[in-house]
Amino acid sequence: MEGLPADLLDQRLRDFLAEDVGSGDVTTNAIVSEDAAAAAEIVAKSECVVSGLSVSRRVFELLDPALAWDERVAAGATVPPDTVLVRLSGKARAILTGERVALNLLQRMCGIATATRRYVDAVSGTGCRILDTRKTPPGLRAFDRAAVRDGGGSNHRAGLFDMVLVKDNHRAIAGGVKAALAAVRRSAPAGTTVEVEVESEEDLREAVAGEADVLLIDNQSPATVRRWVSIARSAARPPAIEASGNVRLANAREYALAGVDSLSVGALTHSVTAADVSLEMSLVPAGGRG
């Protein structure tokens, strides 16, 4: 998965399994023989954009390396209710033990991809991108970012390390945009993208004069955003412009038409509505793998 090397992905998934399984799956181990085989289908019960199948597959493979996995749809596809996403077969114990971790990740990722697609569709034709934010639960950021991409969105900075983003508290401590930019120019690695959050026209003009690469217009009305975009675009070196705060599905297009390059939407990942996905399972006759 992009952003998470295979060995780190496996470690993360093992940690998730360890949290759930602990000293052992007492129910499954009591009921299901060690050599029992099973077949299963993973079914989307609600309409959704598909994301996370490769992650779910890896959860099961860590428990049964010989698992058979027949993926029926591609990441990013929109599917109607009752669509079979995958047919799988293997050790019954492995499928039962891995089910909850695999489905939790899959449901969350499909939910994020679905929400992202709605925003992408809302701004279609405007040239405006939909971005995620760092408002993700610890440990899940790489999964959330992958789901945003599957939904047609784009990723903002991965963390605190890969770009400068001067926010309100930075401005307050530094003594304003101009002072914050001066400090950044002295210390940040050469070539680092510099973005400045602005909440007033004075902030905006200082950020433009300081040649910030990106302006983040926060918590302003579409009319104000339109006016500030016009000011910023008139600069000799106009920055890219992002808007955030108060952006909802109902008004996303209005913000996009105000002329910004991107909209960042925290709700994509901090208020996820999981897709309804289930696993339906049956035993395989002795000697079979489904």
Residues with catalytic roles? 100, 135, 167, 197, 218
Those residues whose C-beta lies under 8 Å from the C-beta of residue 226, and which sit 6 or more positions away, are 258, 259
Write out the two tokens for 118: 């709605």
Cα-based distances in Å from 60 to 17, 42, 53, 96, 211: 10, 12, 11, 9, 50
- What is the C-alpha to C-alpha distance for residues 244 and 36, in angstroms, rounded to an integer? 52
Amino acid 246: pLDDT: 87
For domain 123-270, the CATH class is: alpha beta
Digit-by-digit pLDDT tens for the chain (290 residues) are 777 899 999 999 999 999 999 999 999 999 999 999 999 999 999 999 999 999 999 999 999 999 999 999 999 999 999 999 999 999 999 999 999 999 999 999 999 999 999 999 999 999 999 999 999 999 999 999 999 999 999 999 999 999 999 999 999 999 999 999 999 999 999 999 999 999 999 999 999 999 999 999 999 999 999 999 999 999 999 999 999 998 999 999 999 999 999 999 999 999 999 999 999 998 876 555 45
- Of 111, 116, 122, the C-alpha closest to 152 is 116
Residue 196 contacts residue 166 (beta carbons within 8 Å): yes
Amino acid 288: pLDDT: 54
Amino acid 62: pLDDT: 98
| SS3 of residue 141 by DSSP | helix
For the domain bounded by 6-119+273-284, which CATH number is listed? 3.90.1170.20
- What is the C-alpha to C-alpha distance for residues 146 and 153, in angstroms, rounded to an integer? 10
Give the distance from CA 105 to its chain's centroid.
12
Those residues whose C-beta lies under 8 Å from the C-beta of residue 188, and which sit 6 or more positions away, are 164, 194
Domain boundaries, the chain: 6-119+273-284, 123-270
Cα-based distances in Å from 225 to 15, 142, 201, 211, 260: 44, 31, 10, 19, 8
- Complete DSSP assignment for 179-210: HHHHHHHHHSPTT--EEEEE-SHHHHHHHHHT
Amino acid 169: pLDDT: 97
Amino acid 28: pLDDT: 97
- Of 245, 246, 243, the C-alpha closest to 257 is 243
Amino acid 1: pLDDT: 76
Residue 136 contacts residue 265 (beta carbons within 8 Å): no
Tell the burial category of 138 from Cβ atoms under 10 Å away from its Cβ (0-12, 13-18, 19+): exposed
Amino acid 286: pLDDT: 59
- What is the C-alpha to C-alpha distance for residues 265 and 149, in angstroms, rounded to an integer? 13
With 0.85 as the threshold, say if the pTM is over it: yes
